[in-house]
């Protein structure tokens, strides 16, 4: 059984690692190619886009793909939408893997918004020194927010923003380092996407400990009718079931 794994996340790398030792399953991991020095999964890897929905439909047919797993970032809504359309058009089963989102705990002061634009508009009423942890895409939406800001990204934005300080770093992050960062820069509001997972959750613990409010951008909705799970084990079960049904 040949599987196209749309990846780039830790969960996608776990699925690829499982497939390396699973008889009868061949996985091709596809990375968007936007991150320099990306962590590569085990097995075959392709990088770059497909050329939209039509290009993906053609790729699935050309490579005789039997199943698609979308394990991209929870905010990679365009890729997920394209995957749903292409899998439907090609008659190939699709499963979306989305890790569980973060949940508020006692002591949290979260403000939920639907977009980076809403987050930028909300900042002035929440604090005066903001820590942006939304990645480089959408960062420009905060250029006119009127606050002192520092932004953390894996790769530098293009162009480099002149309106904020920049930290280039990659998770996982630990609580003590996040506490030191917030204190050192006198941060009084944190901005994040609801990415979920443990690699970057320490900032939320630090904000909770220091009583700092957090502006949280909600995830985009999944396409209608798409099957979705939250764990790698559920993906493994689904792939084994697909292989069994193919005989």
Chain Cα centroid distance, residue 54: 24
Query: Distance between CA atoms of 189 and 187, rounded to whole angstroms?
Result: 6
pLDDT at 245: 84
Q: Is the pLDDT of residue 37 over 70?
A: no
pLDDT digits (tens, 9 = 90+) for 69-111: 999 999 999 999 999 999 999 999 999 999 999 999 999 999 9
pLDDT at 89: 97
pLDDT at 92: 97
Query: Distance between CA atoms of 33 and 31, rounded to whole angstroms?
Result: 5
List of residues 6+ apart from 202 with CB closer than 8 A: 172, 173, 174, 175, 177, 178
* Average pLDDT over all residues of the chain: 94
pLDDT above 70 coverage of the chain, percent: 97
Query: Distance between CA atoms of 86 and 74, rounded to whole angstroms?
Result: 19
Q: What is the mean pLDDT of residues 140-169?
A: 94
The token duo for 135 is 């990645």
List the domains of the chain with CATH numbers: 2-100+221-245 (3.40.50.720), 110-217 (3.40.50.720)
Helix/strand/coil for 95: strand
pLDDT at 147: 94
pLDDT at 36: 60
List of residues 6+ apart from 31 with CB closer than 8 A: 7, 8, 38, 40, 45, 46, 47
Q: Is the pLDDT of residue 182 over 90?
A: yes
Q: Is the pLDDT of residue 137 over 90?
A: no
- C-alpha dist (Å) from residue 199 to 87, 179, 238: 30, 15, 25
pLDDT digits (tens, 9 = 90+) for 183-219: 999 999 999 999 999 999 999 999 999 999 999 999 9
């Amino acid at each position: 059984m040949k599987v196209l794994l749309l990846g780039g996340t830790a969960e996608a790398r776990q699925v690829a690692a499982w497939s390396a030792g699973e008889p009868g399953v061949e996985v091709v991991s596809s990375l968007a190619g936007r991150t320099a020095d990306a962590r590569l999964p085990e097995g075959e890897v392709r990088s770059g886009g497909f050329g939209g929905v039509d290009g993906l439909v053609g790729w699935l047919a050309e490579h005789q793909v039997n199943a698609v797993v979308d394990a991209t970032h929870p905010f990679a809504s365009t890729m997920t939408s394209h995957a749903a359309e292409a899998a439907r058009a090609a008659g190939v089963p699709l499963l979306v893997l989305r890790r569980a989102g973060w949940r508020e705990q006692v002591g949290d002061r979260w403000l939920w918004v639907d977009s980076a634009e809403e987050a930028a508009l909300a900042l002035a009423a929440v604090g005066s020194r903001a820590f942006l942890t939304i990645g480089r895409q959408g960062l420009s939406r905060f250029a006119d927010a009127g606050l002192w800001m520092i932004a953390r990204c894996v790769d530098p934005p293009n162009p480099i923003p002149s309106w904020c300080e920049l930290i280039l770093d990659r998770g996982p992050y630990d609580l003590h380092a996040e506490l030191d960062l917030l204190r050192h820069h006198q941060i009084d509001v944190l901005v994040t996407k609801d990415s979920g997972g443990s690699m970057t959750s320490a900032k939320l613990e630090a904000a909770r400990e220091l009583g700092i409010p957090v502006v949280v951008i909600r995830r985009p909705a999944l396409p209608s009718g798409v099957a979705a799970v939250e764990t790698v084990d559920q993906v493994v079960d689904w792939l084994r079931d697909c292989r069994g049904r193919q005989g």
